[in-house]
Amino acid sequence: MNNLTHSYLPALTGIRFFAALMVFFHHIPPFTLENSPLFLTKFINELYVGVTMFFILSGFIITYKYLLKEKFDYREYLWKRFTRIYPLYFLLTIFTFVTTAWYFKDFTSKQFFELLMNLTLLKGFFSNYIFTGIPQAWTLTVEECFYLTSPILAFILFKNIYKRIITLTFSIILIGCVIGYLGQILKLDTLLPSFKFLLNFSFFGRIFEFLLGMILAKFYVQQKKFNVRHCTSIGILGIILSIYVLSLIANSPGTGDNHWIGILINNLILPIVGIAPFYWGLLNEKTWIQNFLSAKPLQILGKSSYAFYLIHVSVFQEFIHIRFSSVILLFIMLYLSSILLYYLVENPLKYFLRTVKF
């Protein structure tokens, strides 16, 4: 039986909540250096790896839902991705810039250009714009690059997975380096300005994570069998150990991915030894973790995770944080807001726009 008959995979929806939770605690840690052990503070500081989990998950979902179907309509695919991602981002970005302009009683040409860079999702390519607007939305630039190129990637990758993943990874990193070099020639000094920037914040540097997710989807649909048990447990252990090693590498107050070995762990080792086996276990093993992530409350939290991701560091979050100093209360209020945004704004807008003929 083809696994594509099961289009909805509840455990992978549930895990989105925990990936978003990890990124939240990275940005707004529940502990400070003064009231917690140093190792715990440093460990929590490395929870940005939730982004790595999202990238691999995107590679899997896009391949599973679209690229392995017999009929693939590129226009329809792009429109579905646009209606899923962009409307809520657009509204929250406009809200961010309008609120900031109102608060500071100022809106200069510089801020107008920042707004354009945010609305076009070009900000993620430039070091001076990447954290403007909704700071964490730089990942959407990475995601959109993957959405645009995924059919080509799939065509190349699936001809010979084991050889092509290495070739594709290095080829796309090289393309990024060429673009960065051209930026220097054209005096666009902030366009992919360094190799570390490219590896940490761009599609070119994060390509392996997407390709690995694509391979997982291909194997899952083909019902590929591996003689490995307890993948869920192995994956969780791999994730924890990777985060721990990153915390050892990091120099306070920095993070492990400021070092070359940390980038290697986050972009390559963690996906292979941690996230990939964990996802494979969620897909193929009947465990209490799979059941827990598939439960109704986790489905609601998982579906709302995109809205939560967009507002967890924002003017919206700052407004709530003024009134709720507790990080836990802030988290609860933000997630309740995210659920409302999902059911009242994000989801209705998505379905409305998909009725539009183009």
Fill in the amino acid letter for 163. Answer: K
Cα–Cα distance between 41 and 87 in angstroms, integer?
36
Q: Is the pLDDT confidence value at 53 over 50? A: yes
Q: Is the pLDDT confidence value at 33 over 80? A: no
pLDDT band with cut points at 50, 70 and 90 for residue 319: confident
| pLDDT at res. 316 | 85
pLDDT band with cut points at 50, 70 and 90 for residue 34: low
For 324-335, write each residue's pLDDT tens digit: 778 899 999 999
Give the residue carrying structure tokens 């791999």. 238
pLDDT band with cut points at 50, 70 and 90 for residue 1: very low
For 252-269, write each residue's pLDDT tens digit: 678 889 999 999 999 999
Question: What pTM does this model have?
Answer: 0.95
Nearest CA among 87, 15, 22 for reference residue 302: 15
Q: What's the chain's average pLDDT? A: 93
- Alpha-helical (H) ranges within the chain are 10-27, 38-45, 49-62, 74-104, 109-119, 138-157, 161-185, 195-201, 203-221, 231-249, 260-264, 270, 276-284, 288-293, 296-303, 305-311, 315-323, 327-341, 347-353
For 111-135, write each residue's pLDDT tens digit: 999 999 999 999 999 999 999 999 9
User: 91 CB contacts (<8 Å, ≥6 apart)?
Assistant: 345
CB 207 within 8 A of CB 169: yes
For 223-233, write each residue's pLDDT tens digit: 887 778 899 99
| pLDDT at res. 225 | 78
Q: Is the pLDDT confidence value at 3 over 80? A: no
pLDDT band with cut points at 50, 70 and 90 for residue 15: very high
